[in-house]
Amino acid sequence: MNKIKLNNGLSLPQLGFGTYKITDEEILDKLLPKAVDLGYGLLDTASYYNNERAIGDCICRHTLFGKLKVCTKIWPKDYGRDQTLYSIEKSMKNLRLDKLEGLFLHWPSEDFEESWKALEEVYEEGLCNFIAVSNFHKQHLEKLFVHANIKPAIDQLETHPLLQQKDMKEYLSQHNIQLEAWSPLARSVEKLTDTAVIEEIASKYHKSPQQIVIRWHIEEGNILIPKTSKLERLEENKEVFDFSLSREDHNKIAKLDSGIRVSQDPEDENWLKEIREK
């Protein structure tokens, strides 16, 4: 498994797995031990996913402590220093962990500056290994930099061949912040194969379209957290380290960049206000 070095010296596995909408404890009970057996080390969740307790119970039941680097996110409804600290305490209790790998602010909604200060406190207390943000664009980060003593280690952004985030990636690189791709397969790989480009490349390498996209992320230097609830897909997603894409194929994928989102836009102020109440 490739490792990516963060701005605080910590190294993370480049390929993890996401747990968005996976709330069935029976599925998690099979998924997490299998992920450990396959060599996955990075798990992404969030308070908003409503599965932290199920994940924690599974970690405890299968004695997976120390075998998974667990990251979670604070939802905007819990922004503000005190509420953020309470949210972190609740997440750690639900996850059955006395230390987290990473803590993220989930969206750049109102009061995120105060919440960032809370994350800095928790980081300095040694309760997590890094602090980060999710869905922050340039203007959000510049606002954060005014108040922050510690820069985010990661910015988690919707990133896939249809939305390659080239400008944001360059900006993050200038500030030594790592891009982490969520929804790295655009939620449904069918969206990526409408043009047949990914399928053609997959046929060339005798790989699945999903594996081609994951390999593209790996070679782009992104950390990525594809979500799956299927054991066979968890295994397939990891079988991407035995080949490399040609420069020609990278160029073909680059031409798919069309700014198409499969989720919410961090520039949508109405959305940012709405999630304060969710």
Q: Which of 49, 86, 123, 205 is catalytic?
A: 49
| Helix (H) or strand (E) run with residue 263 in it | none
Q: Do β-strands 128-134 and 100-105 pair in parallel, antiparallel, or remain unpaired?
A: parallel
What is the secondary structure of 98-123 as a DSSP string?
Answer: SSEEEEEE-S--TTHHHHHHHHHHHH
Query: Do residues 75 and 87 make contact, with C-beta atoms less than 8 angstroms apart?
Result: yes
Give me the half-sphere count of Cα atoms (radius 13 Å) on the Cβ side of residue 195. 13
Q: How far is CA 45 from each of CA 74, 149, 170, rounded to the nearest angstrom?
A: 10, 25, 26
Burial track 87-103 (b if 16+ CB lie within 10 A, e otherwise): bbeebbebbbbeebbbb
Cβ-in-10-Å burial (0-12, 13-18, 19+) of 30 comes to middle
Is residue 48 part of the annotated active site? The answer reads no
Pick from 124, 75, 49, 129: which is nearest to 97 by CA? 129
Beta carbons within 10 angstroms of residue 138's beta carbon: 12
Q: State the Cα–Cα distance between residues 240 and 271, nearest whole angstrom.
A: 36
Q: State the Cα–Cα distance between residues 82 and 222, nearest whole angstrom.
A: 33
Could you list the active site residues? 49
